[in-house]
Amino acid sequence: MRRTMTVILALSVWATGAAAQAAATEPDGAALYRQHCRSCHGAKGTPPARMVTVYPALTAFGDLAADSIVAVLRHGKGKDMKAFADRLSPAEMQAVAAYIKTFGASAPPGS
Ligand code: HEC
Residue 16 lies in a domain: no
Mapped onto helix, strand or coil, the DSSP state of residue 104 is coil
Report the predicted TM-score, pTM, of the whole model to 2 decimal places.
0.81
- The tens digit of pLDDT for each residue in 55-111 reads 999 999 988 999 999 999 999 999 999 999 999 999 999 999 999 999 986 455 544
Please enumerate, as own/partner, the contacts of 63-66 that have beta carbons within 8 Å and a separation of 24 or more: 63/105, 64/100, 66/94, 66/97, 66/98, 66/100, 66/101
CATH number at residue 57: 1.10.760.10
Atom of ligand 1 nearest to the CA of 57: 14
- The tens digit of pLDDT for each residue in 30-43 reads 999 999 999 999 99
Residue 41 lies in a domain: yes
Which residues share a beta bridge with 77? 81
Residue 5 lies in a domain: no
pLDDT at 5 over 70: no
pLDDT tier at 46, thresholds 50, 70, 90: very high
Q: Which residues constitute the domain of residue 32?
A: 28-101
CA–centroid distance, 87 to ligand 1, in Å, is 14
For ligand 1, atom 10, the nearest C-alpha belongs to 81
pLDDT at 7 over 70: no
Contact 46, 109 (CB under 8 A): yes
pLDDT tier at 50, thresholds 50, 70, 90: very high
Specify the number of domains making up the chain: 1
What is the DSSP-derived secondary structure letter of residue 57?
A: T
